[in-house]
Structure 1
Amino acid sequence: MPSAAERTRTLVQSTSSAVLLVPGVNSARPEQLMPLARSVGPDGEIFLVLPADSPVVRAATHAQDDELTAVLEITDVAPVAVPHRIRGRAWITGWLTCVPGIAEPGRMMLRLEVGDASVDDLWGAEGVEPEEFARAEADPLVAHEAELLQHLYSAHGEQVRTLGRLLGGRAGQAAPGPCERVVPLALDRFGLRVRLTHAHGDCRPAEHTFDARFEFPEPVRDITGLRRAMHGLFEAAAG
């Protein structure tokens, strides 16, 4: 499984929504706290681009040599419609400074020096040390995960549904029946996670959901490797 540092780094470098929270900045509109872009530097620092008129930018500018603490909160939402759609959250706490002259006009780049981090996601809740975050690498599929899951759901829905056959009677469930949905939920270099929704009785609520994870024979490095791994999964389910 990916480490907590890898999962946190992946969320930072993903397209998941984020807000930058600074003590004392309480009157800002939500969109004024949302970075327009974010990236990770070679030493593990996080670079954030915000509108130049953001209250956060003003606070960082006025702080000058003082330490301005901030929390970057990232919320990861599944790119396909499933029950309980939030897949996880990450919090990165650190010290904020301005990096003038880098961003385009009307914007300002801020540097967040990481002091502490934590993640609470489909794998569980864990803390992350700054050194671990700096050494970690984002999952190689992070830039394409949302598109890939949407493609699996829309173009290969029936094949994804057959994966439930690989579960047998595990998790207290029978193989998917006519009232069951199997939706691709998360994808990384190690495997695919799906969410099964079983409706009782005549296909009307109440519903019961549970997740199942299918590991690849070996970690994939790119889309070509993922294609081979998914083909193997579908072949195993069909057989």
Structure 2
Amino acid sequence: MPSAAERTRTLVQSTCSAVLLLPGSPGTHPELLVPEARATGPDGEVFLLYPGDAPPVRAATHAEDDELPVVLELTDVAPVSVPHRIRGRAWLCGRLTRLPGVAEPGRMMLRLEVGSATVDDLWGSADVTTEDFAAAAPDPLHGHETELLQHLHAAHGDRLRELASLLGTYAAGLVPTRDVAPLALDRFGLRVRFSAGPEHCFDARFDFPRPVRDVTGLRRELHRLFEAARA
């Protein structure tokens, strides 16, 4: 399974939503705290792009010693329609500083030096150290996951339903199969949500024999998985 640091790094470098929580500004409109873009540097720092007059920029400008303690909150929502669509959240705590002259006119690049992180997702909850976060790499499929899950959901619902046969007779009898949707995908496997409504759902994880490296390897493993379900 992916480590907590890898899962956190994947969320940071994915397209999931992010909002910067500032001290002493509970009334600030959330949309004003959402970065226009974000990226991760080689030492694990996170770069956040904002309009030059955004609240985070103003707060960082007037911070004592030019350092502002903040929390970057990330929320991961499943790209297909399923009950309970939030797949996970992560929180990166650290100090924010400005990087004048890096962004285009009218914009300001901010640097978040990560001090600690926590992830709470489909795998569970865990703390992540600064060193582990900096050393981790995002899942190699993260840039394709949304498109792949939406394709599986739209074009291969029947094949997904057949995966229930791999759960065993007892487990398959307990799984509601009115609705079946692919919930998450990474180099280690596929997670599917079987449901008969919001109060009656069940997740099943189908692990690959070995981690895949790219989309080509993923297609091969998915084909093998679907063929095993039909055998």
TM-score class, shorter-chain normalisation, is over 0.9
State the TM-score, normalizing by the size of structure 1.
0.92
Q: Which residue of 1 aligns with 2:214?
A: 222
Give the secondary-structure state (helix, strand or coil) at the position aligned to 1:28. coil
User: Retained in 1: the 8 A contact 2:60–2:66?
Assistant: no
Q: Distance in 2 between matches of 1:192 and 1:176?
A: 17
1:120 partner letter: D
Counterpart of 2:225? Answer: 233
State the shift of 1:51 in Å. 1.6
Name the SS for the 2:173 alignment partner: coil
Cα displacement (A) at 1:174: 1.4
Q: Does 1:174 align with 2:173?
A: yes
Please report the TM-score for the alignment, with normalisation by the length of structure 2.
Answer: 0.95
Identical-pair percentage: 67
Partner in structure 2 of residue 72 of structure 1: 72
Alignment: residue pair count: 231
Amino acid at match of 1:234: F
**What CA distance in whole angstroms lies between the structure 2 residues aligned with 1:169 and 1:117?**
40
Matches within 5 A, 1:57-206: 57-63=57-63, 65-171=65-171, 173-174=172-173, 180-198=178-196
Q: Deviations over 1:104-155 (max 9, x none)?
A: 2222110000001000000000000000000000000111111110011001
Contact 1:32 1:51 in 2 (8 A): no
2:66, 2:97 within 8 Å by CA — same for their partners in 1?
A: no
Distance in structure 2 (CA, Å) of the matches to 1:12 and 1:170? 39
State the match for 1:210 in structure 2.
Answer: 202
Q: Give per-residue Cα distances to partners, 1:63-86, cap 9 Å, x unaligned.
A: 263421000000000000100110
- Give distance in 2, aligned partners of 1:210 and 1:47: 37
Letter in 1 for 2:183: L
Q: 1:51 to 1:169 in 2, by over 3 A?
A: farther
Whole-angstrom distance in 2 between the partners of 1:54 and 1:167: 51
Deviation at 1:225, TM superposition (A): 0.5
Unaligned runs of 5+ in 2: none
Please provide the CA RMSD for this pair.
Answer: 1.6
TM-fit CA distance, 1:170: 4.6
| Inter-partner Cα distance in structure 1 for 2:207 and 2:118 | 25
Note the 1:5-16 alignment, pairs <5 A.
Answer: 5-16=5-16
